[in-house]
Structure 1
Amino acid sequence: MSTTETTASPHPQPTGYTSPLSRGRDGFRQLLHAEWTKLRTVRRWSLTLLGAVLATILASLLSAQGNQTSGGEDTIAVSADGTTVRDNFRFVHQSLTGDGSVTVRVAGIVPAPGRNADRPPILSPWTKAGLIAKASTVPGTGYAAIMLTPGHGVRFQHDFTGDTAGSSAGTAAPRWLRLTRTGALLTGYESTDGATWHKVGSAKPAGLSDTIEVGMFTTSPEAVTMNRSFSSTEVNGELGMATATFDHYTADGRVTGTLRPDDVRRAASSPNGPFPGMPSNTSTADNGTYTITAAGDIAPLEPDMDPVQQGLRGTMTGLIPLAALGVLFITAEFRRGMILTTFTASPRRGRVLAAKAVVLGAVTFVAGLLAALVSFGITRGILRGNGFKPPMFPEARWSDGSVLRALVGTGVLMALVTVCALAVGTLLRNTAAGIAVVVVVMVLPQILISGLPLGAARFLVQSTPMAGFSIQNTTHRVPQVDNVCLPEEGCYTYGPYAGLGVLAAYTAVLLALAVWQLRRRKV
């Protein structure tokens, strides 16, 4: 008989243990919550956000109060689509009913004595002489024109903003021009000999009825010159006149009435006319040769200052405390050693920085948008009272697409700069150095551009994060209007979204470098 003995093992195997605490999670949602908790529980950071909003509003208010202008001009009209325009020229015309065409040879364009008889006559590159078909002689009505210009050759233009280039012929040689109407379509042609014709462009102008006015015209806008040195900028605008000579004028179709001269312009409130000090527009006819002397322009109005952008000038001031906040949001943890705790709880360092960027960007976007809305709301009335009003300056409304883009874009701008500061703080790990770098990069170009040559100033604006401020620009510029575009006055050669894209690119690159550095360092 056998007996089986069971002997207890001297080294019993431990049984499994389950902690009653739930397992910690370092998902991105939890990281966002953690970073938001850090941001809202540090009182001085909340005060910094509030200070940025108040600084933006106060600086914008002071800037608006310090700017004044004379307001409207007698030479300004409004087109059919609501665009503020200049529509001032000498028109030798007759009526055309239905389809038809007019042909003429522009024999030459020369400058005529203008406002200052003691100065040599000036011929603007955008002086215009040619044929025009217009709904009526009322300023602002629809039109199409084929013209010769001294500096830009033959052009076909319509309804103030449309512009098509023809040949590069200037004033050296005569040019034949033809304008035809087929239904609602107007087409411009040019020729060197009056026999072989080349189409330049066509359009359907607004508001044409069955009977329109057609004929020859001349106008000469202001000639702008600029002298810029390292110490100053001198801008001179001389309102000159031009004399154009026409011959071989013919009209085909149901043309009624003889050629008669008129000045297309708004009724002037000044007894000296719309151009005080200028000689009167004139036109003569002698054996089929017509001479027209005039000053003015047919083009969109481009104000020297953007009231919306001017009302947001405090943005630069508000960015200084936001730059400090962006740097401190990461360097404070490095300085106190808390970053070790953060990385222990969430070892994926890139996600930690991404969470910080998202939280910081979202909060500063809201703060920037609030500052922009309040600044615009306050300064709009102040600037209007200081002369920035129609017709010289179109009414800036909350519902305008360009205004909404500028306001929302200001929030995006402030958020991107703050996230840039976060990345710089991560790279440098030093609060004072990080704040200094961000402030210098954003503020120093503003100081330097006014003293640099124009080409260098524009390059500096285009190639630095300062390009992002173009998002605040609401002035629509067209190439067929000469203007002095000075960066220090808020004129950016980039479009609004392209400029903001430059700032976004800087932000993305700096964040990528910051993530790379965080991953390669032990702490």
Structure 2
Amino acid sequence: MTTVMSRRPGARPVGRPGRAGFPQLLHAEWTKWRTVRRWGVTLLGAVLVTVLVSLFSALSSTAETARGGGPPGPTDADGRPVRDAFSFAHRTLTGDGSITARVSVPAATGSGATAEWAKAGVLVKESTRPGADYAALMLTARHGVRLQSGFTRDVAGSTVSPGDSRLLRLTREGPKVTGYESADGRDWKKVGTVDLDGPDSTGRAPHAVAAGFFVASPDIQSREREFGSASIDQRPSASAARFEQVRLDGRAAPAAWQHTDVGGDPARDPGELRSTENKGNEKTEKTEKSRANTGSAFTLSGSGDIGPAPPPNDLAVMVLDGAQLGLVLIAALGVLFVTAEYRRGMIRTTFALSPRRGRVLAAKAVVIGAVSFAAGLVAAFTAYLVSAPRLRGDDKPPIFGDIALGDGPMLRAVIGTAAVLALIAVLALGLGALLRSTAAAITVVVVVFVLPLILLSTLPLDLAHAVQRLTPVAGFAIQNTLPRYDQVATVCLPEEGCYPQGPWTGLATLAAYAAVVLGAAVWRLRRRDV
């Protein structure tokens, strides 16, 4: 076939159309990959390491950790575990109506510390049964006014300083409950509206509800970290708040307040309801625990919490634990896929046949990324299938929540783990092209990935979280499946696989590192001889 040459100086010959196209480059790089048998063996080894380490991690977990231990707590209408224990002064509201009170910011009773999410406010609840649906408008110790409902929903209102107070009002109209707040009783601001239409024991929407005011004070958590271990100290707290101008409008019976410790723990001190009555220039207080109270100003104390109860252990993190070791073999393959050609001098032939070096490296990245993703997918699914049943035992324990392989978060964790391994392979490829040394590139991978994962449990928590956010290990955040709620104070421990950022943010961070390193490698290839 005659080759047509351009008469312009510096122009390249034009051969058969599509000869140097990207599909042909992909085919050439795939041919290189599949003809080197030891690379396939190494890839199989990465799958086996991931699965076996995950299985070993599952088998080494104690029965107490795996099964959760202890009796199950209350659940909401959907069967999710919740916290529902607080001090409640209430009356029965039949039909539409409203509950109003001026509420002070809750403070710890005695000399104890005030819990961050100690709360006091007005509440409408389907019944006093733990787990019954509710809507609560409250003042919190450090987070201002909040409208919370259904154990998981949380809407922020205005900020409030310690020692301040707010007039709070919940208005019920059919299934809808609307929260309002006011500083002076004249200007009212709407905080939000929620639905309170869950079924009662008969399967119908309840007509009568419990309406009143409440106090809750969650446990206070403190942490201690030592080399290789961390301990969490959790102790109960108790708080009290003052309620004035208490008024219940609507059809209510009986015409007196009843005090109930909802979900009360016998090991804790019960809450107390004290009414304040004005007699001339004197104020007297009367303790009321279970008897009726007819005053309009009260001091209420209590402990416990009302809100979500996320499981303490993440099943996805535990069953995919082996990926943190499998990445070493995957990264080694990414490095070797380019440095092997430099070591043997084959890279000159590759660039002679395909002068556009950036496209060559891009083709290598696609091939190594694709085979690593496929292997990671097999490894992650297999690790789940062999490890999850052993962690669960004979039952599905509440400690892991109601999450299965077909659920969105678990699928995201499994497929995301494969994506993490693929991105690590591409990043390692870029390092190999930059450094042109197998030993140097693999050393950098170990320093960047393996070393931080080992040291995370020994670093101060703030520093450990910074490492998780800012380094390529952020990609493993994709494995986190536990729901997170801003209205629950929790401690995110790296040694438990918890990452402070969201899963997609973590994966995007790793992808950005891979793109930057690969881009730098392309830039260097174009400006340096092979």
The residue number in structure 2 matching 1:259 is: 257
Once the two structures are overlaid, the 10-residue window that deviates more, 131-140 or 319-328, is 131-140
Cα deviation digits, residues 364-395 of structure 1 (max 9, x gap): 101101111011111111211299x4333313
The residue number in structure 1 matching 2:429 is: 422
Report the CA distance shift for 1:335/1:276 in structure 2 as closer, same or farther (over 3 A).
farther
Report the CA distance shift for 1:411/1:382 in structure 2 as closer, same or farther (over 3 A).
same
Q: What amino acid does structure 2 have at the position aligned with 1:349?
A: R
The residue number in structure 1 matching 2:244 is: 247
CA contact (8 A) 1:153 1:166 kept: yes
The reply on whether 1:372 has 2:380 as its aligned counterpart is yes
Matched residue SS, 1:44: helix
The reply on whether 1:277 has 2:277 as its aligned counterpart is no
Deviation at 1:66, TM superposition (A): 2.5
CA contact (8 A) 1:75 1:86 kept: no
Q: What amino acid does structure 1 have at the position aligned with 2:249?
A: D
Deviation at 1:319, TM superposition (A): 0.4
The reply on whether 1:442 has 2:449 as its aligned counterpart is yes
CA contact (8 A) 2:118 2:239 kept: yes
**What CA distance in whole angstroms lies between the structure 1 residues aligned with 2:508 and 2:419?**
11
CA contact (8 A) 1:323 1:439 kept: no
Cα deviation digits, residues 129-169 of structure 1 (max 9, x gap): 11111122232232111112112222111112221222322
The reply on whether 1:315 has 2:315 as its aligned counterpart is no
CA contact (8 A) 1:73 1:391 kept: no
**What CA distance in whole angstroms lies between the structure 1 residues aligned with 2:343 and 2:209?**
77
The residue number in structure 2 matching 1:271 is: none
**What CA distance in whole angstroms lies between the structure 2 residues aligned with 1:456 and 1:60?**
27
Cα deviation digits, residues 12-33 of structure 1 (max 9, x gap): xxx9899xx9999232212211
Q: What amino acid does structure 2 have at the position aligned with 1:425?
A: G
Query: Which consecutive unaligned segments of at least 5 residues does structure 2 have?
Result: 5-14, 199-204, 278-294
Cα deviation digits, residues 152-203 of structure 1 (max 9, x gap): 2221111122212223225413432211112322122223344443322222
Report the CA distance shift for 1:299/1:410 in structure 2 as closer, same or farther (over 3 A).
same
The residue number in structure 2 matching 1:479 is: 486
**What CA distance in whole angstroms lies between the structure 1 residues aligned with 2:104 and 2:31?**
77
Report the CA distance shift for 1:386/1:336 in structure 2 as closer, same or farther (over 3 A).
farther
Query: Which consecutive unaligned segments of at least 5 residues does structure 1 have?
Result: 1-14, 114-119, 266-273
**What CA distance in whole angstroms lies between the structure 2 residues aligned with 1:354 and 1:243?**
64
- Of the three residues 28, 39, 48, the one matched with 2:42 is 48
**What CA distance in whole angstroms lies between the structure 1 residues aligned with 2:100 and 2:374?**
60
CA contact (8 A) 2:361 2:522 kept: yes
**What CA distance in whole angstroms lies between the structure 2 residues aligned with 1:502 and 1:326?**
19
Cα deviation digits, residues 439-458 of structure 1 (max 9, x gap): 21001112232232222221
Cα deviation digits, residues 81-129 of structure 1 (max 9, x gap): 444321222222122222211112235633246xxxxxx5232111111
The residue number in structure 2 matching 1:129 is: 120
Report the CA distance shift for 1:168/1:472 in structure 2 as closer, same or farther (over 3 A).
same
Q: What amino acid does structure 2 have at the position aligned with 1:375?
A: A
Q: What amino acid does structure 2 have at the position aligned with 1:408?
A: I
Aligned length, in residue pairs: 492
Report the CA distance shift for 1:339/1:176 in structure 2 as closer, same or farther (over 3 A).
same
The reply on whether 1:326 has 2:334 as its aligned counterpart is yes
CA RMSD for the aligned pairs? 2.6
Report the CA distance shift for 1:16/1:315 in structure 2 as closer, same or farther (over 3 A).
closer
Deviation at 1:256, TM superposition (A): 2.1
- Of the three residues 504, 507, 515, the one matched with 2:511 is 504
Matched residue SS, 1:139: coil
Q: What TM-score, normalized to structure 1?
A: 0.88
Matched residue SS, 1:176: strand
Matched residue SS, 1:449: helix
Report the CA distance shift for 1:514/1:386 in structure 2 as closer, same or farther (over 3 A).
farther
Cα deviation digits, residues 294-332 of structure 1 (max 9, x gap): 221111112332111111111111001111111001111
- Of the three residues 82, 85, 105, the one matched with 2:102 is 105
CA contact (8 A) 1:152 1:170 kept: no
Deviation at 1:231, TM superposition (A): 8.0
- Of the three residues 143, 146, 152, the one matched with 1:155 is 146
Matched residue SS, 1:377: helix
Aligned identity (percent) is: 50
**What CA distance in whole angstroms lies between the structure 2 residues aligned with 1:309 and 1:333?**
37
